Structures are given as C-alpha cells and as structure tokens.
Amino acid sequence: MDAPELHTLVAEIVDRVLASSKAHEAGPYPCGWECAGCPDTAPENCAGQAETVIAAGADRLSCCTRLARSAPGVAGLIDHTLLRPEATHGDILRVCREAREHGFASVCINPYWVPLAAAELAGSGVKVCSVAGFPLGAVPAGIKCAEAAGAVRNGAREIDMVINVGALRSGSYDVVDREIRAVAAVCHGAGALVKTILETALLDENQKIVASAIARLAGADYVKTSTGFASAGATVEDVALLRRVVGPDAGVKAAGGIRTIQDLRRMVAAGADRIGASASVRIVEAA
C-alpha cells in the first residue's frame, strides 16, 4: 500500500471511529448496562462504552463477573512484567517462579533475559514475551526486526514492539506501517505474536486512532497502550477507543499503572483481553 492510499484509508477510519464515539457519549451510563451485583456499574467506576465494545465483537465483557469467579481466570490475562533495567538474574528467576505458580499468560522481560526465562518456563505453558525498540521506539525498523528475530530464536513467543511515535506524530504513516509489517513478518514466520505499543500518553485522540488502525492493517496481533516508562499508562478511555478501532479480530493489551484487581476489571470491561502488570501477584491474590 503506497503512502497516499494509506493516508486516505486511515483518514476514513478516523472519521468513522470519531463518529461512533460521539454516538455513545450521551447518558450517565454510556454502556447502557446495569448488571446486578457488579461493583463497577457506578458511573465513576463503569468502564463505559460497553455497548460499543460488544458491537465491535468483544468476548470478555460481562461486567467483570467472569473475573470475580476465579483467580486463575484473572492470571491467564496477565503478562507478568519485569522490564526495569536494573533487574538481576535472581529477579528474573523470581518472576518466572511466580508465573509458573499463578499461571500467568507470559513473563515479559528484556531480550537479554529471554534464554534464561525460556529455560525456566519450559513445559509450564507460560509463554516468554520480550520487547523490540523498547522503550522509545525511535530506532530504525531493521534494529527492531533484529531484536525480534533474536528474541524468538532464543525462545520468545510474543514480541511487544514500540512504534516510532515521532514518525506517527509527524504524519509519516508509511514509516510506521512498514516497520510493523517487517516485525510482524519476523514474528509470524517463527510462530510468534506481535503486539504494537502505541504509547498513548504521547498521542492525541486522532493519533491513537491512526496508530491503532495502522497496526491492525499492518498485521499486528495486539495493540498495546503503553510501555510503562512514559508520563502515564493505560486508561479505560484509551482501551475502549483502541477496541473500537481494531474490532474483534485483534487483541488489546492494557499496560502501565495497573496495580489492583479493580484496575484490571475496569480495563477488561473496556475491552482489554491482555494486561501488562508488574503487580501481578498482588492482583491475583486480591482476586
């Protein structure tokens, strides 16, 4: 797809999503649901936009009652994350042990630690997730591809790639499209998933829609809100917006600042089907 064609398609998607947003702004309960016994039906807690999310095809929204039933159901949504630069060998062993114990979806760690995590998690059902272009995204696509290729070769089954935020904000949509396609080709060729990190705290509403649309068109399996290293992390409004854009055929990962079971429930109600958290153990124990 050439640059003018991509710009035209993205503009059409932005207009359609913004029109959908305006149609669901009215009323104190934007979702239109009042589920008996759900603690999140109060306006200040309801993730809102439930009607829109359901129309888009979300299959994980029942006012959180599914989450309330079992801690394992919660754990299976979570990428147990340790991306701090000062993390040690012992820290990685600890998060792997916790992931096996609680049944988290994956352990998300920096590329250097992938071989260790893959060895520790072998046979457990917990996947190894790593990152590319992290945390800034401001490196050439070839470097992101090399990072992704090295990680999947060493045992990673999922890659969270930071998009080129500066290129997106500059209107260079073709740059963002090409890099996502390139990393997706590397990952899919090895049987791995790719999640694109948009860093929503640095984008306005239009840019969030554009980034999500490009990611989906370019073959990303998930769109992800945040690295956790920016000024702010996931919000329910951003999660609901991303879900409206990508529809039912891609995942939405909420990450950054998710520290409690209440945070997790609101994100899932808004349309997230994967959660990135470092407070994972505390969350499942609360559940």
Distance CA 73, CA 76 (A): 5
Tokens representing 237 are: 């409004």
Q: Which position among 144, 195, 208, 224 bears the catalytic label?
A: 224
The residue among 225, 277, 269, 215 whose CA lies nearest residue 63 is: 269
Distance CA 10, CA 120 (A): 42
Q: Which position among 40, 127, 144, 160 bears the catalytic label?
A: 160
**Residue 256, Cα to own-chain centre: how many angstroms?**
10
| Residue 284 identity | V
Q: Is 79 one of the annotated active-site residues of the chain? A: no
The residue among 14, 80, 83, 133 whose CA lies nearest residue 258 is: 80
Beta strands in the chain (DSSP E): 78-82, 106-109, 127-132, 158-162, 193-197, 222-224, 251-255, 274-277
Q: Is 208 one of the annotated active-site residues of the chain? A: no
- Return the half-sphere exposure (C-beta side, CA atoms, 13 A cut-off) of residue 88: 2
- Does the CA dihedral 225-48-244-169 come out positive or negative? negative
The residue among 212, 221, 163 whose CA lies nearest residue 192 is: 221
Q: Is 253 one of the annotated active-site residues of the chain? A: yes
SS3 109: strand
Beta bridge partner(s), residue 194:
159
Q: Which position among 40, 208, 253, 273 bears the catalytic label?
A: 253
Beta strands in 77-166 (DSSP E): 78-82, 106-109, 127-132, 158-162
Which residues belong to the active site? Answer: 160, 224, 253
